[in-house]
Amino acid sequence: MEDAAARERIRREVVSFARRDGRLSHRHQTAWDVHHGAYVVEPDRDVRSTSIAPGWTFDVEAVFGRRAPLVVEIGSGDGDAVLASAGANPDVDHLAVEVYRPGLARTIVRASRAGLANLRVIAADARMLVDRALPEASVRELRVFFPDPWPKARHHKRRLVDDDFVAAAGRVLEPGGVLRLATDWQDYADAMREACEGAEGLESLHPDSPWGPRFEGRVVTRYERKGVALGRDIRDLAFGRPARR
């Protein structure tokens, strides 16, 4: 009865990602098996395969074997942005968060080829990770670039970036840390900005403008190119947790 109740709870749970086929090809499964120990973080799970069990905490120093600033990118896809950032910033640790395992497999293959020691990947529900698994004040930058916009009004409840997510982001950011967001959907951008402006303890890094300049540390991905090709404005937001005075 307890297992059945847990399965029903998971079935009814509102998540911010679509459940795509996560099966790996033979080539990607081989790469996953070979590089798993070096790159993949495996949390304790609840019922769902991307869940994180209550009580599990991401131990940053144990995972990377050092104390360094941490960048967390949510929805890393095939890894274009996070790989570029990790390669350009070897003194900064990077965690790629993605539920689509083929994307993570491609990321770790490319990370291995580049010899990156400052990158790890985790297949996890981002909301669970930020809500309860990342330690307080442990993240230098939390990045969410072009999350699923769930454009239909009835699906807006599935959008990742909302008041609760932004509040949780403020908890995990270290003093001076930054939440960086980007989207090509104007109504989502408006909702993101409203959530950030209403969050206690976060301040816009660009208070004189509704939008920030394009984050120069973000490589142009296919999602951004697609938005530009469709004539959409790319909206960047950057909100920080004030440094201690």
* Cβ-based neighbour number of residue 232 at 10 Å: 15
Q: Where are the alpha helices (DSSP H) in 69-156?
A: 80-88, 101-114, 126-128
Catalytic residue among 3, 59, 93, 148: 148
Distance CA 239, CA 228 (A): 24
Phi, psi of 205 (to 5 degrees): -80, -10
> CA 141, CA 23: separation in Å to the nearest integer?
30
CB neighbours of residue 3 within 10 Å: 8
Residue with tokens 């840390």: 177
Annotated binding site for S-adenosyl-L-methionine: 73, 98, 125, 148
Q: Which residues are annotated as a binding site for substrate?
A: 152, 184, 221-224
Burial of 62 (C-beta count, 10 Å sphere; 0-12/13-18/19+)? exposed
Distance of CA 190 to the CA centre of its chain: 20
Report d(CA 160, CA 180) in Å as an integer. Answer: 14
Contact call for residues 72 and 95 (beta carbons, < 8 A): yes
When computed from its CA atoms, the radius of gyration of the chain, rounded to whole angstroms, is 18
Active site residue 236: no
Checking DSSP bridges between strand 93-97 and strand 70-74, what pairing results, if any? parallel
Q: Residues annotated in the binding site, as ranges?
A: 73, 98, 125, 148, 152, 184, 221-224
Catalytic residues, by residue number, are 148
